[in-house]
Amino acid sequence: MNDRSVAAACEVALWLDARGCEAVLVTDDAEACAMPLRGVSRSEIGEPGLAVALGGDGTILKAVHLLAGVDAPILGVNLGRLGFLSGAEESELFSALESVLAGEARIERRATLQALVDVGGREAGRFHALNEVFVGRGGGARVVELEVCVNGARLWDFPCDGVIVATPTGSTAYALSAGGPIVSPDVRGIVLVPVAPHTLDSRPVVIGPSDTVEISCPNRARADACVTVDGDQVPCRRALDSVTIRAGEHDVRLLKPDGKGFIEVLADKFLGA
């Protein structure tokens, strides 16, 4: 966290303590705070009644991964630029908290993805995403060749920079930059977007929430693909075999004290209406 976020976190913790709520900070943030506030490690977080993420949309993503499936509502307060996922601006911080504590804030349930990564013939890990899973070339300049199957039926097989598999929430992130559609979070679906495909007949596709996507590297000479989950790269020391992606088992709950719906936020943040 930067100095601005740390200062805001300290103020929020003291404000909550004064109202009878036990407030804790992640250990690193607590150490950066000049006030004697309790810090907890990732393993000590438990199941909080509320998580407050102070920063931009990236901070909310970090909070989601820090909670790792814990069903705690998240209030995002925008201290960054866009703040598309946030429920309040910095100037609305304490009025938003009042609304949350009074039980007046609207809750948006956001779908997630789970990805099973196989590397070198073995399972390399299972990962969860709120925005997207990207499979594609890493730091090198060479394209990768990917085969994309949905429920066992082949959809794409082409050289490309990569393929984005996104939630409706992630449709306004990397997927949007790659030419994908904007999908309301009320729609239960999975968005597939090719990135720089070397073909003339590829288009983004929206599939159902119960569908399973498998991305593999049929050409071992072009199998140096990497996997990125919500912007964080998965360590892969060997050639990628496949990534299997399906809807996650748990939703993320985002608090919206201002009551604005998706279209209002979209018009305000993206369209300047």
- Mean pLDDT, residues 149-178 taken together: 97
Intervals of CATH 2.60.200.30 along the chain: 113-247
Reported pTM:
0.93
For the chain, how many residues are written? Answer: 273
Catalytic residues: 57
- Mean pLDDT, residues 76-98 taken together: 93
Intervals of CATH 3.40.50.10330 along the chain: 3-110+251-269
Per DSSP, what are the bridge partners of residue 165? 133, 192
**From CA 167, how far away is CA 213, in angstroms rounded?**
13
149 against 44, higher pLDDT: 149
- Mean pLDDT, residues 167-183 taken together: 97
229 against 238, higher pLDDT: 229
pLDDT at 95: 97
Architecture of domain 113-247: Sandwich (2.60)
CB 84 within 8 A of CB 95: no
Inform me whether the pLDDT recorded for 1 exceeds 80: no
Pairing of strands 74-78, 88-89: parallel
The tens digit of pLDDT for each residue in 184-221 reads 999 999 999 999 999 988 899 999 999 999 999 988 76
- Mean pLDDT, residues 158-178 taken together: 97
pLDDT at 68: 84
How many Cβ atoms from other residues are within 10 Å of residue 249's Cβ? 9
- Mean pLDDT, residues 136-160 taken together: 91
- Mean pLDDT, residues 91-116 taken together: 97
CB 137 within 8 A of CB 130: no
**From CA 16, how far away is CA 12, in angstroms rounded?**
6
Segment of 71-80, 213-222, 264-273 carrying the highest mean pLDDT? 71-80
- Mean pLDDT, residues 131-149 taken together: 90
Token digits of residue 114: 């789970």
At 161, the amino acid letter reads D
CB 71 within 8 A of CB 47: yes
- Cα 135 to the center of its chain, rounded Å: 15
* CB neighbour burial string for 148-180, b if at least 16 within 10 angstroms, e if fewer: bbbeeeebbebbbbbbbbbbbbbbbbbbbebeb
* CB neighbour burial string for 49-68, b if at least 16 within 10 angstroms, e if fewer: ebbbbbbbbebbbbbbbebe
Inform me whether the pLDDT recorded for 28 exceeds 80: no
Segment of 11-20, 93-102, 138-147, 228-237 carrying the highest mean pLDDT? 93-102
Superfamily (CATH H level) for 3-110+251-269: Probable inorganic polyphosphate/atp-NAD kinase; domain 1 (3.40.50.10330)
3-class SS at 225?
Answer: strand
